[in-house]
Chain A
């Protein structure tokens, strides 16, 4: 059985907020948190805000229009809203039906479960979300490619919110860095699942573009090479979910109260990055590694092992060095699987092109098991949680954006990543990837995996290690990160409702 386009659900794209299924993809993104001081006025203000919320339909059309512009930027401002449970409580909304435990707690209460540093039961590094009092009731996501337009719009929203009893309690501005890198210098946001589902046009069109030659047997499983199509119930309530055994077989929507339909769960993690420390680790460790292996390993090579990609995005499994022919081709840059993968044909510019495959690396000789991108997505490999297909159940729609200036421009400034990810179960998506895999040195794959040295947390600040087998020297070495380069500084577990939910507040 293959999945035909007409087998996919029609999405309520005018009702689903646009940053979840489609993603703003703006150059700047303001995150503004509010506490509700006046419930009645706030409710009215939020009802009115519904008209300004950018739907999936709107964001989709905006991005298509923008892609035709040169340069590909727009002064349009996009707005989305999310609530903590405490915000819904403040509005006297009945939250007793919420089943997802993470949504019921401030992030600070679960800091220990997330691997964050804790002392006397309290997170030590949080700047927001330690407790209910400093968890935003409402978080607005306001994005634009135009700095000035965004500044003006955000100021206007904050001002009108204040008049309606919504007190600004937190704000950060995210800004895309040159070449789409994160602060350690690696191109980010390459790998993302493609939500299945149709936009109601005549004829209906898929939300996720389909590039695979229809003659390929996996044409109904991929958006582009390396991008699995995932049933949208993994990201938005009310739609079919993914099967653990057959990606073609939609499963029942996740159980949730009716008012959550067309909404998503959003985890926001404010991650501070210590670029100086990361560079020192690469420099120091590449020196000792060179001695152990008897040949020169430079910092970029070590970085590629830790991340799983070269700085330009070339997957380490595909090339022993950065390769622009791979990294600049969106059909190649994410087309890999650790068990190897055959060549595949895509239709691009109305021509059929062949994207090359590659041999397996089950043992992790080219891309180690501890590499960040492998720890959070072992792709086709069986894991401690079951066969390879299970891994797709844990994936989220990541919409993170860096914050702060580049290290080389202002070393003393704070910088990092505003990690944002949409899903329908914190417990079986975010927690699986964060806690069961990223922070767990004993999983997910066969063998000694070790810590995710890039992002993995161990809570106690102790050194984290991962084993590297170097096939050239046939030597096993331990790579040790003496400190955390990425420090979670708070965040929140949020519900991103449908636009009709906002209207009905």
Chain B
């Protein structure tokens, strides 16, 4: 029987004594997420046109996988700072936030603030510096769910992989929670999410000291799956006279995903377009978010000699090379200079964002016509859009149920919408949501910059029945 493979079909599991548990468990994990998203009892936005590629019994063959591309650099930052201000956006992208944005609490109800990168295009990077010398820049698009699962079944293997990927000795206990961690259920009651000693996805070696997998609250496999599903709903958006739906109209109406991102408008428009034709849509096995094959021909050493071919290592990828999970840029052993002395496309290499701008990300969907399936209609648009009053390229999506119109949107609402965007002043960055003002308090930040909410959060969206 077919199974859901790990992202890119990466073969970590065969290194484990519990390889069969890992293989069957990962398949079960993905099947469970798909099951949750497709179950109207668990996910109020469940869509009949979103199917599970391996569980489908219609007998209709899948179409060929269709890639959806987007750029690896956070478009939110480009829109915030302006398209003509790349340098500021590059610097901003490497700021790290520590906020209670994940809905986690200590046993006494204190919100837990966790560090995460503000790189929200499913492509995150870490710059290894020794002093002010850049030694290595590592890019990852691996979902946290995979590593959490791997560590749960075989913590030692996860730990070994950490050391291999970071090229460092990593104390195993650094990867574990030091406290019990709770979430609130629908009734506000604290329910244990992690026990002390469990794998902590936001550990120092995946945040402040390295990047092994994604950390941004919006960068998860669940977010990818939920957005894919949400995009197949019958959102009440009018086509233009040529029958086309504007991706912005669609994003403004649905309020799903992030309107300022590269990825989500294209994903939503593409999937919604298939659903409008009555096609059912699934994410292709292996489900994941991928870096496309690329080169760094513009990376030059201090004497202007190209070194991209030696410096670029595609560390984790599918056997056919089309789905890449991890990339490292590092100088050959023995090089007498550091990466910051090199240039990329003629500019001194200062930031990972310069490389991220060269990276095309992809996911793969499949579609087919399953007899008897029709889109579930959304009766009215739950959301609307406004432009930021000071950052004219930056939009926000807001709920009709919460606001009467753009005039109602306050500075605090905008700060919430742009929760992870640093403000640059005199060479330093600050955040609209002051970290100290929230961390440790009762308040839990609900990041809206990219709105894909947990299954349990009930939506005020007027939907037709799931049929």
- A interface residue numbers (CB < 8 A to B): 99-106, 109-115, 118, 121, 241-246, 249, 251-255, 339-342, 357, 359-360, 362, 382-387, 390, 393, 425, 427-428, 431, 435-436, 440, 442-449, 459, 476
State whether B247 touches A362 (Cβ < 8 A).
Answer: no
Query: Bound state CA distance, A109 and B84, in angstroms?
Result: 25
Collect the chain B residues with CB atoms within 8 Å of residue A440's CB. Answer: 292, 294, 360
Q: List 8 A-B contacts (CB under 8 A).
A: A105-B300, A110-B297, A241-B84, A245-B393, A249-B392, A340-B243, A436-B358, A442-B293
Secondary structure at the A interface, as helix, strand, loop or mixed, is: loop
State whether B393 touches A243 (Cβ < 8 A).
Answer: yes
State whether B346 touches A101 (Cβ < 8 A).
Answer: yes
What would 13 more interface pairs be, CB under 8 Å, given A243-B392, A245-B393, A386-B265?
A113-B297, A115-B297, A243-B393, A253-B84, A340-B241, A382-B265, A427-B86, A428-B84, A431-B345, A442-B292, A443-B360, A446-B68, A446-B266
CB distance from B311 to the nearest CB of A (A): 12
Instruction: Given the known inter-chain contacts A244-B393, A444-B69, please indicate yes or no for A393 contacting B265, CB distance below 8 A.
Output: no
Residue of chain B at shortest CB distance from A105:
B346
* B109 proximal to A (CB < 8 A): no
Collect the chain B residues with CB atoms within 8 Å of residue A104's CB. Answer: 343, 346-347
* B227 proximal to A (CB < 8 A): no
CB distance from A492 to the nearest CB of B (A): 13
Collect the chain A residues with CB atoms within 8 Å of residue B346's CB. Answer: 100-105, 109-110
Collect the chain A residues with CB atoms within 8 Å of residue B66's CB. Answer: 446-448
Query: Bound state CA distance, A191 and B254, in angstroms?
Result: 35
- B interface residue numbers (CB < 8 A to A): 64, 66-71, 75, 78-79, 82-87, 240-244, 247-248, 262, 265-266, 269-270, 273, 292-298, 300, 304-306, 308-309, 343-347, 358, 360-362, 387, 392-393, 395
State whether B298 touches A110 (Cβ < 8 A).
Answer: yes
Instruction: Given the known inter-chain contacts A442-B69, A442-B360, please indicate yes or no for A387 contacting B298, CB distance below 8 A.
Output: no
A446 partner, pick from B69, B86, B294, B306, beta carbons under 8 A: B69
State whether A341 touches B242 (Cβ < 8 A).
Answer: yes
Query: Bound state CA distance, A340 and B244, in angstroms?
Result: 8
Collect the chain A residues with CB atoms within 8 Å of residue B270's CB. Answer: 446-447
Instruction: Given the known inter-chain contacts A245-B392, A428-B83, please indicate yes or no for A360 contacting B244, CB distance below 8 A.
Output: yes
A-B contact count (CB 8 A): 161
Interface centre among A100, A110, A253, A428 (most CB of B within 10 A): A110
A112 partner, pick from B86, B241, B295, B361, beta carbons under 8 A: B295
State whether A118 touches B306 (Cβ < 8 A).
Answer: yes
Instruction: Given the known inter-chain contacts A359-B242, A360-B243, please indicate yes or no for A251 contacting B298, CB distance below 8 A.
Output: no
Collect the chain A residues with CB atoms within 8 Å of residue B343's CB. Answer: 101, 104-105
CB distance from A247 to the nearest CB of B (A): 12
Instruction: Given the known inter-chain contacts A340-B244, A359-B243, please indicate yes or no for A244 contacting B69, CB distance below 8 A.
Output: no
Collect the chain A residues with CB atoms within 8 Å of residue B82's CB. Answer: 251-252
State whether A387 touches B265 (Cβ < 8 A).
Answer: yes
Query: Bound state CA distance, A461 and B238, in angstroms?
Result: 46
Collect the chain B residues with CB atoms within 8 Å of residue A109's CB. Answer: 300, 304-306, 346
State whether B297 touches A111 (Cβ < 8 A).
Answer: yes
CB distance from A218 to the nearest CB of B (A): 13
Residue of chain A at shortest CB distance from B262:
A386
Collect the chain B residues with CB atoms within 8 Å of residue A446's CB. Answer: 66-69, 266, 269-270
